[in-house]
Chain A
Amino acid sequence: MGEIVRYKRDVWGEEVILGVSWDLLWVVAVAVLVLLAAHAIIMAAVAKKIEKASSEVDEYFVMRLSIDCFIG
C-alpha cells in the first residue's frame, strides 16, 4: 500500500498537498468486503446453532410428552 496523502510541487517549487491517495479506495473496498463477509458467516453460524438448539429442545419435549402419555 502506498501513502495516504499525495503531494506535488507548486509553481514555486514548494511541496503542497494534491489530495488523497486513491490506492486507499481498494484498501477500503477489500476491508469492507472482508468485514461484511465475516459478519455474514458468523451470523449464519449463530443462526444454525440456535436452530439446532431449538430442535433439540423440541425433541426433548416430544420425548417427555410420549413418556408422560405412556405413564398415564
Chain B
Amino acid sequence: MAASILALIATGVAPILGLRIAWLNIHWIAGLLLTFVVVFHIIRSLFWQDFKSMILGPKDFGEPFDSTQKPGKYTFEQKGMHWAVTVVVLAVIGTGILLFLQIDTPFWDRTNSMAEDTLGLMFLLHGLSTLALVALASTHIYFALRPEKLFYTRSMVSGWISEDEMTANHDTSLWSPKEAD
C-alpha cells in the first residue's frame, strides 16, 4: 500500500514539477494495485482483524489532553491518521477509477463519454485528494521516524512490541495482545 501510494504521488506530481517522464502507465498500474490492496485490506480488517480497535469514539478525543488516559491498541493520533487516510484514499481511488475509464488502456479505448464539466470536477477532486495525500504521507513518515515512535515502526515490520513498551504506552485493560513465546 505504501509503495503504491508513493509511486502514485511521485508519478502524479512529477509532470507538475516539470519532470518529463512517461508517467501515465506507471500511474494507473500503481492505482490499480492500490485499489486491490485497499479492497483486500477492508475485507481482511472487517472479517479477520480487530476492526473495533480502530473505531474513533468521543472518549478518544480526550486522550491528547489527559496524560493519565492511555489508549487501547491504537492511539487517538493513529486512529485520526488512519481515518483521514481512509477518506482521502477512497476519494482518490473513486475519482481515479472514473478518470482511468477515460484513457486508452490495454483493456479498452478511450470513449470521451464523460462531460467536460464532470471531467473537470473529477480532476479537481483527484487533485485535492493528491494534495491531502502529500500532506498525510509526509506527516506519517515524519512520525514513523521520530525516536519515541520508532518502536511502532519496528512493530509494522516485525509484528511485536515489548511488554515495557506496551505498559508504558497502552492501557493493558483495553488491549491485551497475544504474548510471544
- By a beta-carbon cutoff of 8 Å, the part of chain A in contact with chain B is 5, 7-8, 10-11, 14, 16-20, 22, 24-25, 28-29, 31-32, 36, 39, 43
- Distance from A62 Cβ to chain B, minimum over Cβ atoms (Å): 26
Cα distance A20–B134 in the bound complex, in angstroms: 14
Task: Note all chain B residues with C-beta closer than 8 A to A18.
Answer: 120, 123
- By a beta-carbon cutoff of 8 Å, the part of chain B in contact with chain A is 13, 16, 116-117, 120-121, 123-124, 126-128, 130-131, 134-135, 138-139, 142, 146
Q: Assess whether A17 is in contact with B123, with CB atoms less than 8 Å apart.
A: yes
Pick the 8 closest A-B CB pairs, nearest first: A20-B127, A17-B120, A19-B123, A16-B117, A10-B116, A22-B16, A32-B138, A36-B142
- Distance from B6 Cβ to chain A, minimum over Cβ atoms (Å): 15
- Distance from B96 Cβ to chain A, minimum over Cβ atoms (Å): 13
A-B CB contacts (within 8 Å), total count = 49
Question: Which residue of chain B has its CB nearest to the CB of A18?
Answer: B120
Task: Note all chain A residues with C-beta closer than 8 A to B13.
Answer: 25
Q: Would you give 25 A-B contacts (Cβ < 8 Å), ordered by A?
A: A5-B124, A10-B116, A10-B117, A11-B116, A16-B117, A16-B120, A19-B120, A20-B123, A20-B124, A20-B127, A20-B128, A22-B16, A24-B131, A25-B13, A25-B16, A25-B131, A28-B131, A28-B134, A28-B135, A29-B134, A31-B135, A32-B134, A36-B139, A39-B142, A43-B146
